[in-house]
């Protein structure tokens, strides 16, 4: 099998009628990399994938495959495999025939075909249903067949468009493991579109977070989670969502009304704030500790506890209409308790209220 291909998008735009769906996007996908395009529905992530696949024309800019302009290449030259959200299995062909069809059309030898098919049927646990038609398959089997049809081409670029969104939650964990296994085995470049942040975090070497036709941030999962570039990324990643409080800078402190959220801003960031400037204070639910209330603490009342088994979600009201979500493993807290709220200082995130940029 060949190595993965390098994909570059240079100032790529896509207009649909008069709407700009993709706005001058630059993106580099390294050979053999697993890149996830993550974003809410309608952010343009699927359109980006389809432009790379050549299914949508590019309104401006260039898509380069190993430095060559992809628009002039035939589908055979591009050598792409793609898995669609609806699987797009040929309904008139069995699982084996679905796997075999493209190879057969391109006159790959029978022996090679049979060998590859058998290997894939085995890897993806599809042997029992090899002669079934798509309508006779379960959701998970359809998904694996679609995956297999992509794998059998042994292409240098593998595109996946929300391949797990139509299967049961219970099966997704297994399917994720399979996709990870496939990527480890082959050295293909993979571009994977999803709206599910857990999937993105689990799979991506790097994640490109998109919103509104623009890439908001491209980085490793760790960077994205802990150092989001702007408010959108901070809010989109993480479940439960990050706690955000609009607060005012006051003499190197950050205050929300009478509450002092940060007592030494310089410790957190080198950014020069103006006095009385309003900024967003952000803290993820797991970076808050609840303790016995002391004078120096922000103090609140526990209003709700939801037990998720592995952890608890605790809602703490620290002022009227101002609550914090806290994730904790401590099971001693009760609803009604008065608690001290301690923020994990090096995890505090600050954002500009105007443009949403991270100020840390």
Alpha-carbon torsion (175, 123, 97, 77), positive or negative:
positive
Per the structure block, which two tokens stand in for 358? Answer: 């991270």
Here's the x/- map for other proteins, 11-50, by CB under 8 A: it reads as: ----------------------------------------
Closest to 176 measured CA to CA, from 157, 156, 162, 187: 162
**184 makes contact with other proteins (CB under 8 A):** no
Among residues 86, 173, 278, 296, the one that binds other proteins under rule CB under 8 A? 86
90 lies in the binding site for other proteins (CB under 8 A):
yes
- The residue whose two tokens read 């059309």 is 105
Q: Is the peptide bond before 4 cis (omega within 30 degrees of 0)?
A: no
Q: Which stretch binds a second copy (CB under 8 A): 22-30, 66-74, 243-251, 302-310?
A: 302-310
Q: Kindly tell me the sign of the dihedral angle through the C-alpha atoms of 311, 312, 313, 318.
A: negative
Residue 135 binds other proteins, judged by CB under 8 A: yes
Sequence-distant (≥ 6) Cβ neighbours of residue 141 within 8 angstroms? 95, 126, 129, 132
Least distance (Å) from other proteins to the CB of residue 48? 15
Of positions 74, 105, 308, 321, contacts a second copy by CB under 8 A: 308
- Give the DSSP H/E element, type plus range, for residue 235: helix 231-236
* Contact with other proteins (CB under 8 A) among 1, 11, 102, 357: 102
Q: What is the DSSP string of 116-167?
A: HHHHHHHHTT-GGGTT--GGGS-HHHHHHHHHHHHHTT--SEEEEESTTTTS
Torsion angle (degrees, nearest 10) of CA 270, 274, 276, 281: -30
Q: Which of residues 222-261 bind a second copy (CB under 8 A)?
A: 222, 224-226, 236-241
* The only residue of 71, 77, 136, 198 in contact with a second copy, by rule CB under 8 A: 198
Question: How many Å from the N-terminal Cα to the C-terminal Cα in the chain?
Answer: 44
Among the listed residues 159, 150, 149, the one whose alpha carbon sits nearest the alpha carbon of residue 29: 159
Residue 88 binds which one of a second copy, other proteins, none, with CB within 5 to 8 A depending on kind?
Answer: other proteins
| 54 touches other proteins (CB under 8 A) | yes
Give me the least distance between CB of 311 and a second copy, in Å please. Answer: 8
Residue among 214, 146, 219, 227 nearest 182 (CA): 146
Closest separation in Å from C-beta 95 to other proteins:
15
Residue with tokens 């799979």: 203
Q: In the stretch 20-49, what mask flags binding to a second copy with x, by CB under 8 A?
A: --------------------xx--------
Q: Choosing among a second copy, other proteins, none, which partner's interface includes residue 309 (Cβ < 5 to 8 Å by kind)?
A: a second copy
Can you give the length of the chain in residues?
A: 360
Q: Does 105 bind other proteins (CB under 8 A)?
A: yes
Strands 259-262 and 253-256: antiparallel
Binding partner at 202 among a second copy, other proteins, none, C-beta below 5 to 8 Å by kind: a second copy
Q: Indicate whether 307 belongs to the interface with a second copy (CB under 8 A).
A: yes
Q: Which residues of this protein are in contact with other proteins, per CB under 8 A?
A: 53-55, 74-76, 80-82, 84-86, 88, 90-92, 101-102, 105-106, 134-135, 149, 153
Given the rule CB under 8 A, which residues bind a second copy? Answer: 40-41, 168-170, 173, 195-198, 201-202, 221-222, 224-226, 236-241, 284-286, 306-311, 313, 327, 329
């Amino acid at each position: 099998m060949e190595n993965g291909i390098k994909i570059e998008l240079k100032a790529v735009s896509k207009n649909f009628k008069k709407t700009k769906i993709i706005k001058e996007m630059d993106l580099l996908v390294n050979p053999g990399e697993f890149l996830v395009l993550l974003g809410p529905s309608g952010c343009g992530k699927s359109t980006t994938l389809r432009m790379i696949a050549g299914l949508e024309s590019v309104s401006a800019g260039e898509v380069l495959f190993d430095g060559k302009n992809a628009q002039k290449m035939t589908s055979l030259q591009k050598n792409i495999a793609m898995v669609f959200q609806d699987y797009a299995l040929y309904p008139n062909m069995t699982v084996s025939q679905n796997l075999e069809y493209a190879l057969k059309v391109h006159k790959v030898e029978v022996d090679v075909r049979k060998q590859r098919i058998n290997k894939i049927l085995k890897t993806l646990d599809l042997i029992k249903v090899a002669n079934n038609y798509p309508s006779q398959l379960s959701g998970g089997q359809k998904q694996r067949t679609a995956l297999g049809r992509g794998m059998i081409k042994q292409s240098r670029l593998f595109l996946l468009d929300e391949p797990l969104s139509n299967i049961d939650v219970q099966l997704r964990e297994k399917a994720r493991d399979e996709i990870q296994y496939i990527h480890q085995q082959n050295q293909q470049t993979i571009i994977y579109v999803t709206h599910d942040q857990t999937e993105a975090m689990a799979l991506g070497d790097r994640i490109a977070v998109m919103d509104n036709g623009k890439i908001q941030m491209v980085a490793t999962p760790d960077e994205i989670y802990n150092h989001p570039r702007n408010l959108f990324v901070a809010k989109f990643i993480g479940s439960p969502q990050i706690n955000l409080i609009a607060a005012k800078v006051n003499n190197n402190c950050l205050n929300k009304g009478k509450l002092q959220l940060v007592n030494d801003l310089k410790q957190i960031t080198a950014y020069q704030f103006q006095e009385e400037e309003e900024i967003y204070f952000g803290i993820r639910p797991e970076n808050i500790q609840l303790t016995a209330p002391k004078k120096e603490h922000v103090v609140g009342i526990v209003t709700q506890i939801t037990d998720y088994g592995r952890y608890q979600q605790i809602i703490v009201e620290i002022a009227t209409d101002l609550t914090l979500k806290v994730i904790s493993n401590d099971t001693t807290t009760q609803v009604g308790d008065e608690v001290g709220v301690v923020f994990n200082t090096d995890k505090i995130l600050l954002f500009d209220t105007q443009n949403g940029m991270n100020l840390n």
